[in-house]
Structure 1
Amino acid sequence: MKQCLSRQISMVMFLLDFVNFARATRDLTLEPGHLQKFGSGRPTFPVDEIEGFPSPELFFRKYVQASRPLKMKGAARETPAFRLWTDDYFMSLDIDPNSTVFVESAKKENRTGASVHVHFKKFLQTYNDSDNYMVQDVPVYLRKDVVIPCSIQCADLFNKGLVATVMWFSSGGTKSVVHTDAVDNLNCIYRGDKELFFVDPKYKEKIVLKENGAYSDIDVDKMDYTKYPELANIEYHHVNISAGDCLYIPYLWIHQVRSYGSNVAVNIWWNHDEGLKLDPQKCQDECDPTLNLSDVNFEVDHEVSNDDEEEEEEDDEEDWKAYFLDILEEEDVTLEEMSELVLGDALAAKLKSMKVGHGYVDMIHKIFNLFDTDKDGVITKSEAEGISEKIWQHCEDFMNDLDLLIEAIEKSTKFREEL
């Protein structure tokens, strides 16, 4: 009996060694997906799909708290944004001539591309014939058109959970990096189509992210298994969404996004720990089809309530400007050094170790790009001294947004540690 058991154990050990040897010696260049786009060649599963918005009870219990992506087909078709958002409508709006939107100039994201601030109507006149891509907090003059999705019409979330809302606008053909978000995300598309590939967080050790834990250098058009062999051993979840659909992207799920055709989408980010603590039975019983973005506050919204607050903001801006110019007096600043200057050495190191997604990195890149006018990857004192006061104000706005986003990240991390 013992001899038989010993032989069985030996056989199992032999087979395990053989499997490990085969994996170690297999030619990855022959594996399906090698040198193809991200999402190719590996087992792929569909994302759950339902018609319209689920109730808050179903949404939070089955998807948010269970960390499962969800496609809500046709959920946004009855909203003003879906009906109204044509270029003619946008051009007809009465918009402050001094307001601007943030525009990236590369449709294939690399986190180091050039960016500019332009008037919204100037963007509208150029985006169809360029690679210009607007990535901007939803402007105040458009917020009334975006209805709060029925599934998240919850007072507790409105009071302390909403982080930001972002508008993504291009002529199509955009390709995001492979990344994660340190927030929960509900994205509704009002024009065009998008394709997303997800990787379950259980594979997080197989997706090589940058030191800050935000995104990967994987070429999303041509995955190189010899450079990233772990990609030959993962699984994907896949979904296509079209105008009128909404998609829930769970906290820290790895994903990559492509857009097709003239494309407008809006996402709402909320604090992950607030979503976990929320009691969905306290949300609204009936969906309010008139409740829109202008009716709620986000952590990155800034309301100046009196002259003292306004003066304090101006003082903070001058302090940052003087500090930054003093640094540049001694040496030029790279993107990595900018992160340490903006965050401080201790917080920069903490965020790198936390692997909390790409939102805060995006903001640092935006700040860096404001000053790196020749796009050589280095900021010099002469570049900073040539920056207009308007750009310095944009920098201060991004700094404020960054503070609030990091505060939301820290709240989520503290909550997870307490569970």
Structure 2
Amino acid sequence: MEGNGAPLHGLLLLLVALFSSAPVCLGSGVSGSVPSGVPELVGHLKPFGFQRPAEYPIDEVIDPYSLTPEQFYTQYVEAVRPVVFRGAAKHFKAYSEWTKPRLMSQYGKLELRIEPRKDGSAKHPVGALGFGRDTMENFVRGLETSDNYVVSELPSPMYGDVELLPCMSCGRLLRKVSEVNLWMSGGGTRSRLHRDAFNAINCQINGTKDWIMIPANQTDNVYFKASSDWELGGLSPVNTDSIDLKKYPRIRDVPWGITTVEAGDCIYVPGGHYHQVRSYGLVNVAVSVLFSRLESPHALGFDPAECRGLEPRFVPLSETPEILWAYPGHGMMTMGCIDDNAMVSMIFSMSDGKPVSKKQFFAQENTPFDQGDGGKAVKKIWKLLDTDQDGLISRSDIGNISRDDWREMSHIMEPDVVFSNSYDYEYAVLDYTMVRTVLSRALQKQGKMSREDFTSVYTEVIRGSDYYANKLFDQLDKAKKGAITWKKVKKGLLEEVLEPFLMSEEEDGGNHFADGDGDDVAGEEEALDGADLMRSVMGRDEGDIEGDESLSDSEREMALEEYQERASHVSDILGLDQDSEADTDSDNEGGEEEEEDGDDEDDPENARLQELYRTHMEKVERESHEQDRLPEATEELEEIMPAQGDAAETSRKAKTEL
């Protein structure tokens, strides 16, 4: 995978240069100011950068050995300033050896986390292992045209191909690596304006990226609102592709800089710095090394004495001290977990850097240590922190805590599973009621479904993955006959198989299981119907698309065409058009009696059975004194009159039963 040219990547820079009154900042940055007399809404509904000139400097380092760890810490980490290292990643094996054949043959079975190619897309990312999970082999095979991109922890078997830069080769810069991430796409991706919790060095292996950088002190001007004082990362609500200055007028006051990072370059992005990234090239690959905010108040900082006398050198990740959140390439990921130094900063902020007493620690409310569980989490964390059991948390206690204990504390503080890190992502994001209703209707309509039929409904209507379609089919086809019928699955089996999808509705506190043997799978109260079902399946309606301000006119037109085409297909598969016709008939003037679903009005045998059905139900209603008798009667009649089937067989069975 050679580095690709990017003929379009400079378009943003060129446009900004043409429409701004000062030069664009490239690398070292160029100062400028908004001239007097500029119209108040200059740059309104244009991309970020048209509102004022670039004036935030971004330094460059040409020789990676020239910046010592001490200089890097004082000039950039402690000063909270970005810097670009030109050509530094060309020292990595990854730069020369990460070809498609090698990635597929040597690392093909490793698992990666994936996201939609366009940040903020409503589509779920589908990989070989379901939503949000793919194999290296499958992703790389279709990398150039994939609708997804990889944003995953780098599997540890690949650590030997990536190195820490010389400026991180000693002291806590070396020991406090928290996480290593991999980014892969076919280019053309863009992020939203956001900030990250960790300090990071992002190294470009293939392709090109433009980085728009905004100082961390611009929180108010980018309209970022954290949900708590402890939230270190997050997104700005501003659409950087079309700045609405009437809604976000302070954007005009934001100083910014822009730099282009080519294949082989690295960029240091301070934690808390706001940035937007756009990628270019047929293949775009980068690795990001996340390390502790050593500069945070009361954190364990950098001690230059630990590096004196040591020559700066490139250090393979495979030779670094234990990385806090390493990922072996299979199983649960830990992207975004809090690191030990962040916890240290929180702890000693309670006492302005002095030892923390038990009373002080337990008095803290609304912090990540307080889980609202009556103090159980706080007690567990205190026990792990007070290693000498003297009733105080001191710096010596911190030095005695193992990496495993820090991980345990992190899990106590953040007990909720991040589903995109797990194999349960598909269960968590697909609505249980929608999935059950779609499968119920499709089964009732078709009567019998092969694996191919079932997979088609699950992937085309529900938009789930092939992997989970086959998994669900195998669970429903207990007899291994290669087909499933509504009669076989309606009595609770469908609900049993779909139980994991209930995690998507746990917050509602509802129990979506049927009582007894589960015969109300398609029940009126539990199922979606008509417009509600269509909206649940489609995820949005035409009004949502019309009102989506993030879409251009051409994108909106394409989205509407795609919506209408898919809606027609879904209606056909689920028989929603028939529902609509039935509703229309029932509203006709003259009040014609509504036909029973699934019957052919021209079939005299079915007409006779309908009359038999009505007669039977009238008798039950007259004789029954309890409302609970109605479901039992309905069950009896289902045996007499199935939704679909051969008329002769239906007649024979009805005579036998009666």
Structure 1-normalised TM-score?
0.65
Alignment equivalent of 1:385, drawn from 499, 519, 529? 499
Tell me, yes or no, if the aligned pair for 1:195 and 1:259 is still in contact at 8 Å.
yes
Partner residue in 2 for 1:309: none
Query: Partners in 2 of 1:223 and 1:243 — Cα distance?
Result: 30
Q: What is aligned with 2:180?
A: 165
Tell me the equivalent position of 1:156: 172
2:248 to 221, 228, 251: 228
Deviations 1:190-222 (A, max 9, x none): 111111111112221111125435111222211
SS in 2 for 1:195: strand
Letter of the 2:430 counterpart: D
Please list, as runs of the form range in 1=range in 2, the aligned pairs for 1:174-185 lying within 5 A after superposition: 174-185=189-200
Map of 2:58 onto structure 1: 47
Deviating more after overlay: 244-253 vs 216-225: 216-225
Task: Find the counterpart in structure 2 of residue 103 from structure 1.
Answer: 114
Paired amino acid for 1:189:
Q
CA spacing shift, 1:88–1:241, aligned 2, 3 Å: same
Q: Is the 8 A contact 2:164 2:316 kept in 1?
A: yes
Using the alignment, how far apart are the partners of 2:162 and 2:418 within structure 1? Answer: 28
Residues 235-283 of structure 1, C-alpha deviations (whole Å, 9 max, x = no match): 1121111011110101211111111111111111111036871123423
1:366 — aligned with what?
420
Q: 2:87 aligns with which of 74, 95, 104?
A: 74
Paired residue type of 2:302: L
Which of 299, 304, 316 pairs up with 1:280?
Answer: 304
Task: Find the residue that maps to 1:277 and give its secondary structure.
Answer: coil
Q: C-alpha offsets along residues 339-386 of structure 1, whole Å, 9 cap, x if unaligned?
A: xxxx95699xxxxxxxxxxxx9x9847258443443799999989734
TM-superposed deviation, 1:144: 0.5
**Which residue does the alignment assign to 2:275?**
255
- CA shift in 2, pair 1:386/1:68, >3 Å: same
Q: What is the match of residue 299 of structure 1?
A: 324
- 1:376, 1:257 → 2: CA distance? 35
**Deviation per CA, 1:49-88, whole angstroms, max 9, x where unpaired?**
1203221121111111111110111111122111111212
SS at match of 1:272: coil
- State the distance in 2 between where 1:111 and 1:374 align: 15
Instruction: Check conservation: 1:193, 1:260, Cα contact below 8 A.
Output: yes
Q: Does 1:237 align with 2:252?
A: no
CA RMSD of aligned residues (A): 3.6
Find 1:197's aligned residue among 212, 222, 243. 212
Q: Distance in 1 between matches of 2:246 and 2:435?
A: 35
The residue identity in structure 2 corresponding to 1:228 is: Y
| TM-score between the two structures when normalised by the length of structure 2 | 0.42
Q: Which deviates more from structure 2 when the two are superposed, residues 366-375 or residues 206-215?
A: 366-375
Distance 1:383 1:278, change over 3 A: farther
Secondary structure in 2 matching 1:44: coil
Give the 3 Å change call, closer, same or farther, for CA 269–363 of structure 1 in structure 2: farther
CA distance in 1, matches of 2:79, 2:431: 43
Between the two structures, name the one with larger relative contact order (CA 8 Å, sep ≥ 6).
1
In structure 2, the gaps of 5 or more residues are 1-37, 126-131, 329-369, 376-413, 437-494, 502-658
For 2:478, the equivalent position in structure 1 comes to: none
Aligned residue for 1:141? 157
Query: CA 1:111/1:130 → structure 2, altered by over 3 Å: closer, same or farther?
Result: closer
How many pairs does the alignment contain?
Answer: 307
Q: Which runs of 5+ in 1 are unaligned?
A: 1-25, 304-342, 348-359, 388-419
AA matched with 1:385: E
AA aligned opposite 2:310: D
Q: Residues 372 and 383 of structure 1 are in contact (CA less than 8 Å); yes or no, is this contact kept in structure 2?
A: no
- Asked whether 1:36 is paired with 2:11, we answer no
The correspondence of residues 305-316 of structure 1 with structure 2, limited to 5 A, is none
Counterpart residue number, 1:63: 76
- Contact 1:60–1:280 (CA under 8 A) maintained in structure 2: no
Deviation, structure 1 residue 301: 2.4
- Say if 2:97 is the partner of 1:84: yes
Contact 1:111 1:365 in 2 (8 A): no
Deviation digits for residues 285-319 of structure 1 (CA, Å, limit 9, x no counterpart): 22334x2112232221279xxxxxxxxxxxxxxxx
Paired with 1:142 and 1:189, the residues of 2 have a C-alpha distance of 16
Q: Write the distance in 2 (CA, Å) between the matches of 1:36 and 1:90.
A: 40
CA distance in 1, matches of 2:432, 2:250: 32
Deviation by residue 1:392-411 (Cα, 9 ceiling, x = unmatched): xxxxxxxxxxxxxxxxxxxx
- Check 1:173–1:180 CA distance in 2 against 1; reply closer, same or farther (3 A cut): same
Contact 1:184/1:249 (CA < 8 Å) preserved in 2?
Answer: yes
| Contact persistence 1:369–1:375 (CA under 8 A) | no
Measured after TM superposition, the shift of residue 162 of structure 1 is: 1.4
Q: Deviations over 1:112-158 (max 9, x none)?
A: 65232111100111221122100111112211100111111124334
